[in-house]
A = this chain, B = another copy of it.
Amino acid sequence: MATSIDISDLNIYYGDFLAVEGVGMTIRARSVTAFIGPSGCGKSTFLRSLNRMHEVIPGARVEGKVVVDGQSLYDPSVDPVAVRRQIGMVFQRPNPFPTMSIYENVLAGNRLNSKRMKKAEADDIVERSLRGANLWTEVKDRLGKPGMGLSGGQQQRLCIARAIAVEPQVLLMDEPCSALDPISTAAIEDLIHELKSDYTIVIVTHNMQQAARVSDDTGFFNLKAAGEPGHLVEFNATSKVFSNPDDPSTEAYISGRFG
């Protein structure tokens, strides 16, 4: 089910500003890929170019190729709305819809496509997704309550449940734990471990320990200097990046000599 992603020669712009330059890599299916790097090096920008969320920002555009499942993502015939259903996204700050209940939040994506859904079917999706996000037992008795009433970590897992409810193939996560306390962080990390058997997972993190803990492959992004575009310095198996990186700047970053 899950899918690999091939990226080649990707340049990403905000208007005239080249934010990320010349990235190429292959993200493996059913694995966790982590991106690390100092602030502003373009990790988020790159991640958002993988499900065409980048172009939501006015003036933003992309050059180069992102190939998912043999299809080029930026082909004119490709519908970005369809892309985003297949490649889900979880954001840095948990963002459940404030006016919806937990139940409605989980179904938000599904409701878009099929207005009429049998109650049983909907219940089924909600339970399956919440179980998938390890949240079912905590919220099953208050599904009608607002999603905003949950704790930060629970909200983040609710967002994950919402993302997997539409059955995407890839799950992109941009610093999903940075707004969370250590306990919630641990819960999310466990969840990522479980999810990877079904999904291709890409995660951005500013926490190198987290990258080391959860990922199979790691990409290190860096900036040559402030104002210069970010670029991919190294992309390797996580074990290699953290023990014996190819590039000296990777080593310097990981050992905390800058950033």
Contacts and interface: CB of A to CB of B under 8 A. Distances in A.
A248 interface: no
A259 B226 contact: no
Contacts of A259: 182, 207
A5 to B, nearest CB: 28
A143 interface: no
Contacts of A152: 226
Contacts of A208: 256
Interface string A220-238: 0001011000000000000
Nearest to A225: B183
Contacts of A255: 209
Which of under 10, 10 to 19, 20 to 34, or 35 or more describes the interface residues of A? Answer: 20 to 34
Contact of A183 (B181, B207, B226, B257): B226
Given A151-B226, A226-B151, A181 B38 contact: yes
A34 B184 CA distance: 26
A78 interface: no
Number of copies: 2
Contacts of A209: 255-257
B185 A258 contact: yes
A186 interface: yes
A40 interface: yes
A207 B38 contact: no
B186 A258 contact: yes
Which are the 7 A-B pairs with shortest beta-carbon distances?
A209-B256, A182-B258, A181-B226, A182-B259, A38-B182, A185-B258, A151-B226
Interface of A: 38-40, 151-152, 181-186, 207-209, 212, 223, 225-226, 255-259
21 contacts: A38-B182, A39-B181, A40-B181, A151-B226, A152-B226, A181-B223, A181-B225, A181-B226, A182-B258, A182-B259, A183-B225, A184-B226, A185-B258, A186-B258, A207-B256, A207-B259, A208-B256, A209-B255, A209-B256, A209-B257, A212-B256
